[in-house]
Amino acid sequence: MDLALLINPAVKGAYFDATIEVAKAELALVYSEQAEHVAIGAMDFLHINAPLSLLPSLQKLSFVYGVFKRNETELTAIDSQAAFSLHEDFVFGSKFKGKTNEHLTQLLLNAALAHIDKQDNIQLLDPMCGRATTLLWAHRYGINSKGIELDTRAVDDVTRNLKKWVKLHRVKHKISDGFIGKANKQGKHKFVDFTANGSNLRVIQGSCEQADTLIKKGKFDIIASDIPYGVQHFSSDNTRNPIAVIEKSLPVWEKLLAHEGVIALAFNRYIPKRTALQKVFEQAGFKDTGFSCEHRMSESIVRDIALFKKA
């Protein structure tokens, strides 16, 4: 069937001048044929020929705003929406400094999912999870997740945001908190658990280098994270280059990675360079899958995604 995918104007705030190229790279995760970019007025479309059975996958692409049937003279909107388990406010509603763009986070998750064979009971870990944007996207997909964040304020911030959105959208849920180890006033190793609509997430305060001590049971099909750009996460040598921390963390992450699992990282191609990132993973026995969606975010940041699997 001839289809037209309307590109969400909001993703231009994530992918900027590379929006069309990034959209095509993401589309290629689920559709192997060539797509044609067509502009109609201020609207951008990708034209494809695909069966309607592909519709659920197309609707969950980060750039897709709507799907249309097309013929030579007109477009007809397909009256169908992606099936998500939580309202979009859980991901898009809360704003805070340093938040990863929500569309990029969805792309990161889509790319990771396309590189594992597992379809059910998928488990995800974000070892540098911030305020849980990746975990909340996973929850919307029906994926159970855990995240670790160094900032001692993060658990309380996530808890407050969750309570706000479940109240506003009247979501039946369970929220509980506690500590890994002894309770303390500093919030060290504090966690919050959130369960709703059959899925759960946990955010734990701690270091990504200690993931295996903070999470002692279970394996993860996906380890996904947006490598933070700030020096606060990489203070061991007081630089912004995260390579040293990744080198220390990778053996720990590997212990937690399920067989045939994937590690998906969004990063600034200036620091670290992709070749440096590849070298660290190759030395640990991983192989770069080759996926890339390079796009300029600012003068100092060219963002990309890399996916690694055991060689």
Measure the CA–CA gap between 32 and 50, rounded to whole angstroms. 10
pLDDT in tens, 169-183: 999 999 999 999 999
Across the chain, mean pLDDT equals 94
What pLDDT was estimated at residue 238? 52
Calpha distance 233→230 (Å, rounded): 6
Residue-by-residue DSSP string for 206-244: S-GGGHHHH--S--EEEEEEE---SGGG-TTTTSS-THH
248 token code pair: 């220390």
Q: At a CB cut-off of 8 Å and minimum separation 6, what does 177 contact?
A: 155, 159, 190, 191, 192, 193
Please check the confidence at residue 22 and state whether its pLDDT lies above 70. Answer: yes
How many Å apart are CA 262 and CA 206, to the nearest integer? Answer: 22
The Cα 170–Cα 26 span in angstroms is 33
> How far is Cα 5 from Cα 217, in angstroms, rounded to an integer?
41
The model carries a pTM of 0.95
Centre a 10 Å sphere on the Cβ of residue 143 and count the other Cβ atoms it contains.
22
- Cβ atoms of 293 and 107 within 8 Å: the answer is yes
Query: What is the predicted pLDDT for the residue at 232?
Result: 47
**pLDDT score of 63 more than 80:** yes
| pLDDT of 65 higher than 80 | yes
Residues 234-243: tens digit of each pLDDT: 544 555 579 9
Question: pLDDT tens for residues 174-227?
Answer: 999 999 999 999 999 999 999 999 999 999 999 999 999 999 999 999 999 999
**Residue 37 · residue 44 · CB < 8 Å:** yes
Looking at residue 239, what is its pLDDT?
54
User: CATH number of the domain at 88-310, please?
Assistant: 3.40.50.150
CA distance 143 to 200: 8
| CA dihedral (55, 165, 171, 148) positive or negative | positive
Residue 224: closest CA among 103, 123, 96: 123
* Whether pLDDT at 116 is above 70: yes
Domain range list for the chain = 2-77, 88-310
Output the pLDDT for position 231: 45
The stretches of 75-176 forming alpha helices (DSSP H) are 89-92, 102-113, 133-140, 154-168
Whether the predicted pLDDT of 298 surpasses 90: no
User: CA-to-CA distance for 88 and 124, rounded, in angstroms?
Assistant: 19
Per-residue pLDDT at 228: 84
What's the mean pLDDT in 258-273? 95
